[in-house]
């Protein structure tokens, strides 16, 4: 089977919702594959489903355009930074740093990383209404084109094009900027994935509604409050603004697991009681505060009897408490508890009554539940994360100092997020998986992931997380940050952009962590040498083995602290130019202009489109002087010079090599003449290989 594809200029995010509709409602699509809404409505109306003309939602000028941006084709290719990636330490790196517009990058990642991302953290530009967020879209549409593509009238099309091309920082422009990025990002999340978005007061209300629409209201997790500026903002007119927010949504709330935090020594001291099950503390069972009425939660209201002799509890079987039965002040039939009656009946052996005295009250029996320090597996139960994050480590000042120490220079990067905050968020999620940040800034997320994996503070290996960072090569303004501009230009000898800061921070952070791991290993090796000098015993042998494992783990962690670099580059001018009528004056694309680097970029782009991760290299295979590239059962024929002899070598390898099983052969059409193309297509189609492989032959342009 063979077919032709114009993949290069048709890379876009697949619409899974549309595919579901095609599967279940094929009759609602026309012959060109266009969805016909009226047919769909009529089909559902027959099943007595009513469509309301009114609904609650977020509307803004440019919403239809934002949807168009989400589904529009990418206008770039992906290119590898070979100088960096081919260094020995980076050859097997599993982390990524990608330079380019994040919407373009997200579209490129949509296949290879579909439902592969465990967590997303982003700190997008805030729309402050001044010089903070500025939206300038480089897509070029005429008014008429936008009318048709976005389904808007002429006036709306003019207004949309006006704010996208005029450095607008309106609410509509900010929402238009954020919608397509969040829309594509959702498709990258695993079912148990979660996204954290930092935001301030200017757009927090709009962001919450936007994420309700994209992720679904039912998948809202929390609105975290971060006390990032304890001194308050000097620019605040009336009230000093000390905090920001992190809006948190899950991909699917039923799959979400949020881990708690380790208890510190002070927390553990609270567990000062002990029984045969272990250490515990007492927590009040009575529900305090709140506005629930009895009719709302009747199962939470029931009478409890306390035995004054031993503090044991049970359901009180009389309709009312009486002073004769319980001489101390009764708990009361109307009390509302944190446990429902069913749980109380199951676990009331964990409940005790205790005589207490509160200021201004008589002695009475109150009800408490045992909260154990360890679970049934012997692990210390973690603390549930709080919605208010107010530790001193999360303020801007500490974040700035952290970067300044790393670069040994003041004012390199302003307003970055502290690694403490990102580590706090990442540790809620998992100790494995991919963490994505497509507004990478100074690279805090990558730095935090490496630190958290190494867990330098405790010396234990706490995780095997990977990161993907995306950063626009945004120029550094020498008037606003001369220190950063001079550092990149003079010390790094690079174009002064934010991306270079991101890259350098990751390198320096990795070196710092690896240096600490080296020091740790020196101490471990010294202990090993000391133990080996002693008379061997079973205990010393076991300890030496354990220490050697720690050394090996630390060496493995050092290898984890590397990353590969890719960047987006424009698709070549006039590529796939097609004229309706031949005109010798029109400039057609000249394939002879393509360089070896261009073909490599095409190969990286295509393999990512085909679902192969960027960190996975294709294997070069020689067919008698012709080099092809193989991976994930796909063989790419990108180069010129494919001959009949090459074809014979290819077919022989399919039959003879047990590790070579191409299910698809993909050829770059411009590098094959018509004779070789027909010969290759026919041979693949009629090849009765010994492995009974069903091979697709695909020609791409």
Helix axis angle, 143-150 to 63-71, nearest 10°: 80
Residue 426 inside a domain? The answer is: no
Q: Residue 693: what pLDDT?
A: 85
Residue 524 inside a domain? The answer is: no
Residue 533 and residue 531: Cα distance in Å, rounded?
Answer: 5
Give the residues of the chain that fall short of pLDDT 50.
319-333, 457-461, 578-585
φ and ψ of 315, to 5 deg: -65, 135
Residue 185 and residue 282: Cα distance in Å, rounded?
Answer: 44
Q: Residue 587: what pLDDT?
A: 53
Q: Is 423 helix (H, G, I), strand (E, B) or coil?
A: helix
Domain that includes residue 691, residue range? 591-700
Q: Residue 241: what pLDDT?
A: 85
Q: Is 368 helix (H, G, I), strand (E, B) or coil?
A: strand
Q: Residue 82: what pLDDT?
A: 97
| Eight-state DSSP code of residue 411 | T
Q: Which residue has the tokens 């002695």?
A: 363
Residue 95 inside a domain? The answer is: no
The residues near 101 (Cβ < 8 Å, ≥ 6 apart) are 76, 472, 568
Residue 382 inside a domain? The answer is: no
In degrees, to the nearest 5, what angle opens at C-alpha 620 toward C-alphas 618 and 626?
A: 140
CA-wise closest residue to 204 among 225, 233, 221, 219 = 225
Cβ neighbours around 161 below 10 Å, total: 20
Domain end point (choices 340, 372, 404): 372
Q: Residue 106: what pLDDT?
A: 98
CB 531 within 8 A of CB 541: no
Residue 101 inside a domain? The answer is: no
Residue 157 and residue 55: Cα distance in Å, rounded?
Answer: 24
| Eight-state DSSP code of residue 162 | H
Q: Residue 425: what pLDDT?
A: 95
CB 609 within 8 A of CB 700: no
Q: Residue 361: what pLDDT?
A: 61
Q: Residue 362: what pLDDT?
A: 65
Q: Residue 9: what pLDDT?
A: 87
Q: What is the 3-state secondary structure (H, E, C) of 237-304?
A: CCCCCCCEEEEEEECCHHHCCCCCECCCHHHHHCCCEEECCEEEEEEECECCCCCCCCCCCHHHECCE
Tokens at residue 379, please? 């692990």
CB 299 within 8 A of CB 292: no
Q: What is the 3-state secondary structure (H, E, C) of 93-145?
A: CCEEEEECCHHHHHHHHCCCCCCCEEEEEECCCCCCCCCCCCECCCCCCCHHH
Q: Residue 663: what pLDDT?
A: 94
The total domain count for the chain is 2
Q: Residue 605: what pLDDT?
A: 98
Residue 93 inside a domain? The answer is: no
Domain end point (choices 372, 406, 436): 372
Which ranges of 30-81 would DSSP assign to H, the alpha helix?
A: 37-45, 63-71
CA-wise closest residue to 374 among 256, 255, 267, 257 = 267
Residue 682 inside a domain? The answer is: yes
In degrees, to the nearest 5, what angle opens at C-alpha 548 toward C-alphas 423 and 467?
A: 25
* CA distances in angstroms from 32 to 29, 72, 526, listed in the order given: 8, 18, 72
Q: Compute CA 45 distance to the chain's CA centroid, rounded to the nearest angstrom.
A: 39
**What's the count of helices (H) and strands (E) in the chain, helices before strands?**
20, 22
CA-wise closest residue to 220 among 346, 465, 387, 47 = 387
Domain end point (choices 324, 339, 372): 372
Residue 78 inside a domain? The answer is: no
């Amino acid at each position: 089977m063979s077919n032709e594809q114009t993949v290069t200029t048709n890379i876009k995010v697949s619409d899974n919702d549309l595919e579901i509709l095609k599967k279940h409602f094929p009759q609602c699509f026309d012959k060109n594959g266009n969805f016909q809404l009226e047919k769909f409505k009529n089909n559902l109306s027959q099943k007595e489903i009513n469509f309301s003309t009114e609904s609650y939602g977020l509307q803004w000028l440019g919403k239809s355009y934002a949807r168009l941006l989400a589904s529009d084709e990418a206008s770039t290719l992906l290119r590898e930074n070979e100088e960096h990636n081919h260094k020995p330490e980076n050859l097997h790196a599993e982390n990524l740093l990608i330079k380019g517009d994040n919407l373009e990058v997200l579209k490129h990642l949509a296949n290879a990383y579909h439902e592969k991302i465990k967590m997303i953290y982003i700190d997008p530009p805030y729309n402050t209404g001044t010089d903070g967020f500025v939206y300038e879209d480089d897509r070029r549409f005429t008014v008429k084109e936008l009318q048709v593509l976005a389904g808007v009238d002429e006036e709306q099309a003019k207004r949309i094009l006006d704010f996208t091309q005029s450095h607008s920082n309106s609410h509509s422009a900010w929402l238009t900027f954020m919608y397509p990025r969040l829309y594509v990002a959702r498709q990258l999340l695993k079912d148990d994935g979660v996204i954290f978005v930092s935001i301030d007061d200017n757009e927090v209300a709009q962001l919450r509604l936007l994420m309700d629409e994209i992720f679904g209201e039912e998948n809202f997790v929390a609105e975290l409050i971060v006390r990032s500026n304890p001194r308050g903002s000097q620019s605040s007119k009336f009230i000093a603004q000390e905090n920001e927010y992190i809006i948190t949504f899950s991909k699917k709330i039923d799959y979400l697991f949020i881990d708690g935090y380790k208890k510190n020594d002070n927390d553990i001291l609270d567990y000062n009681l002990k029984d045969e099950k272990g250490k515990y503390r007492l927590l009040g069972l009575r529900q305090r505060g709140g506005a629930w009425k009895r009719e709302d939660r009747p199962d939470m209201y029931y009478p409890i009897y306390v035995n004054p002799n031993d503090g044991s509890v049970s359901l009180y079987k009389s309709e009312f408490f009486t002073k004769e039965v319980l001489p101390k002040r009764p708990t009361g039939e109307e009390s509302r508890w944190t446990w429902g009656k069913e749980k109380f009946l199951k676990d009331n052996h964990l409940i005790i009554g205790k005589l207490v005295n509160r200021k201004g009250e008589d002695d009475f029996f109150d009800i408490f539940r045992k909260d154990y320090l360890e679970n049934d597996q012997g692990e210390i139960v973690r603390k549930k994360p709080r919605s208010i994050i107010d530790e001193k480590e999360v303020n801007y000042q500490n974040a700035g100092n952290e970067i300044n120490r790393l670069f040994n220079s003041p004012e390199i990067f302003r307003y970055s997020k502290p690694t403490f905050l990102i580590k706090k968020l990442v540790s809620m999620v998992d100790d494995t998986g991919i963490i994505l940040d497509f507004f990478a800034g100074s690279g805090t997320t990558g730095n935090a992931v490496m630190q958290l994996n190494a867990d330098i503070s405790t010396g234990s290996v706490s995780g095997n997380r990977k990161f993907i960072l995306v950063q626009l090569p945004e120029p550094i303004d020498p008037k606003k940050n001369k220190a950063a501009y001079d550092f990149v230009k003079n010390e790094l000898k690079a174009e002064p952009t934010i991306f270079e800061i991101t890259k350098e921070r990751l390198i320096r952070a990795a070196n710092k962590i690896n240096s600490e791991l080296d020091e740790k290993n020196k101490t471990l090796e010294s202990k090993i040498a000391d133990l080996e000098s002693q008379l061997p015993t079973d205990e010393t042998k076991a300890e030496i083995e354990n220490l050697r494992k720690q050394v090996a783990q630390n060496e493995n962690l050092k290898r984890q602290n590397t990353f590969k670099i890719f960047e987006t580059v424009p698709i070549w001018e006039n590529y796939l130019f097609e004229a309706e009528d031949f005109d010798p004056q029109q400039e057609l694309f000249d394939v002879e202009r393509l360089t070896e680097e261009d073909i490599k970029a095409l190969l990286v782009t295509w393999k990512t489109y085909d679902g192969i991760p960027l960190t996975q290299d294709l294997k070069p295979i020689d067919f008698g002087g012709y080099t092809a590239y193989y991976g994930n059962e796909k063989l790419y024929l990108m180069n010129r010079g494919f001959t009949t002899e090459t074809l014979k070598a290819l077919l022989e390898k399919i039959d003879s090599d047990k590790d070579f099983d191409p299910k698809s052969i993909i050829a770059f059409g411009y590098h094959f003449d018509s004779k070789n193309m027909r010969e290759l297509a026919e041979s693949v189609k009629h090849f009765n290989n010994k492995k009974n492989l069903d091979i697709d032959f695909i020609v791409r342009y």
